[in-house]
Amino acid sequence: DAGENVLLEQRLAVESIRTFLNSKTSYDVLPVSYRLIVLDTSLLVKKSLNVLLQNNIVSAPLWDSQTSRFAGLLTSSDFINVIQYYFSNPDKFELVDKLQLDGLKDIERAIGVDPLDTASIHPSRPLYEACIKMMESRSGRIPLIDKDEETRREIVVSVLTQYRILKFVALNCRETRFLKRPIGDLNIISDQNLKSCNMTTPVIDVIQLLTHAGVSSVPIVDENGFLVNVYEAVDVLGLIKGGIYNDLSLTVGEALMRRSDDFEGVYTCTRNDKLSTIMDNIRKSRVHRFFVVDEAGRLMGVLTLSDILKYILLGT
């Protein structure tokens, strides 16, 4: 009976959260007062890196003042593309140094990666719709675009991320407390052909793994498969800032020494943890993924915010 209860409570809670997401708009997620940092596309890429690090952000919308239009999002994927381009063309240091943000499209073409599709949505559309659109895009974030009522010009109102939405749910949906089934039973953990590396793997191989596997982090394990650390896509910003990207013989362990001291650490959990506890952690901390380990600490899989959101939106 108890098991039946947990199943029923979980299903009702998920349905209630979906109803909540349909009853709110993306505009509701916005704080009453907030900052939005936008970069002019004629800015140099290396200057934009200073701006992101100075403001402690990892992404920003771009504004093309020539066309007076929103020109997509700058994300860590762009910096990864620049590193890969430089790695394949070490003689092009000058070009990389003088690269402007509106030149990033050429870099994508040069290394043959698909441009990040920047779907966008109107702030007044239901939050559920924004979540569905965001899941279709690889960047894990979705710009909210409106139009100036006089000039019909685009306004970048804000950029919603999976983290912001899950935090909004964790803060406003009391039903998250009824998500008591173990995550191992929900079939939402990514544990098939999991990519990993070890501390001595060259950082350029890890960066290429991020792109080729289309993931935003690569777990680092020791020779016995125990999880030791994680290399995240956003770590690339520190690599470039330090100018050490041209020493790409660097191991991923050495590259991780660039991490600033306010990095909160890698969150781990086990298959027995409940989504209610996971959501509680998202409510309290800046956590972007949970690495699933066994009792001894061996890597078993990863639970990303995208996996959680997908379960809440579409899970059975």
Please enumerate, as own/partner, the contacts of 113-121 that have beta carbons within 8 Å and a separation of 24 or more.
113/81, 113/211, 115/72, 116/72, 116/73, 116/75, 116/77, 116/78, 118/72, 118/73, 118/143, 120/70, 120/144, 120/145, 121/26, 121/145
Compute the least distance from the CB of residue 8 to another protein, in Å. 22
- Phi, psi angle pair for 162, to nearest 5°: -60, -40
Compute the least distance from the CB of residue 153 to another protein, in Å. 5
Q: Does 54 bind another protein (CB under 8 A)?
A: yes
Compute the least distance from the CB of residue 112 to another protein, in Å. 29
40 by Cβ neighbours in 10 Å (0-12 / 13-18 / 19+) ranks as middle
Q: Which of 21, 96, 142, 157 forms a contact with another protein (CB under 8 A)?
A: 157
Q: Does 243 bind another protein (CB under 8 A)?
A: no
Q: Does 160 bind another protein (CB under 8 A)?
A: no
Which range, of 11-19, 85-93, 161-169, 264-272, touches another protein by CB under 8 A?
Answer: 264-272
Residues between 273 and 292 that touch another protein (CB under 8 A): 273-274, 277-278, 281, 290-291
**Quick one: 63 or 168, whose CB is closer to another protein?**
63
Do residues 14 and 6 touch, judged by C-beta distance below 8 A?
no
**Quick one: 99 or 132, whose CB is closer to another protein?**
99
**Quick one: 43 or 170, whose CB is closer to another protein?**
43
Q: How far is CA 97 from CA 53, 110, 239, 240, in A?
A: 18, 16, 15, 11
| Number of residues forming the site for another protein (CB under 8 A) | 81
Q: Does 207 bind another protein (CB under 8 A)?
A: no
Q: Which of 125, 164, 195, 259 forms a contact with another protein (CB under 8 A)?
A: 259
Q: Does 172 bind another protein (CB under 8 A)?
A: no
Which range, of 2-10, 207-215, 266-274, 308-316, touches another protein by CB under 8 A?
Answer: 266-274
Q: Does 3 bind another protein (CB under 8 A)?
A: no
**Quick one: 38 or 314, whose CB is closer to another protein?**
38
Q: b/e for 108-126, b at 16 or more Cβ within 10 A?
A: beebebeebebebbebeeb
Which positions ≥6 away from 174 have C-beta within 8 Å?
A: none
Compute the least distance from the CB of residue 58 to another protein, in Å. 12
What number of other Cβ atoms are within 10 A of residue 284's Cβ? Answer: 10
Do residues 69 and 227 touch, judged by C-beta distance below 8 A?
no
Compute the least distance from the CB of residue 129 to another protein, in Å. 18
CA 214 to the chain's CA centroid: 11
Compute the least distance from the CB of residue 295 to another protein, in Å. 8
Give the pair of three-digit tokens for residue 260.
């600033």
Q: Which of 8, 12, 38, 314 forms a contact with another protein (CB under 8 A)?
A: 38
**Quick one: 115 or 253, whose CB is closer to another protein?**
253
Residues between 84 and 123 that touch another protein (CB under 8 A): 123
Q: How far is CA 257 from CA 107, 203, 226, 260, 299, in A?
A: 28, 12, 20, 8, 22
Which residues are bridge partners to 295 per DSSP? none
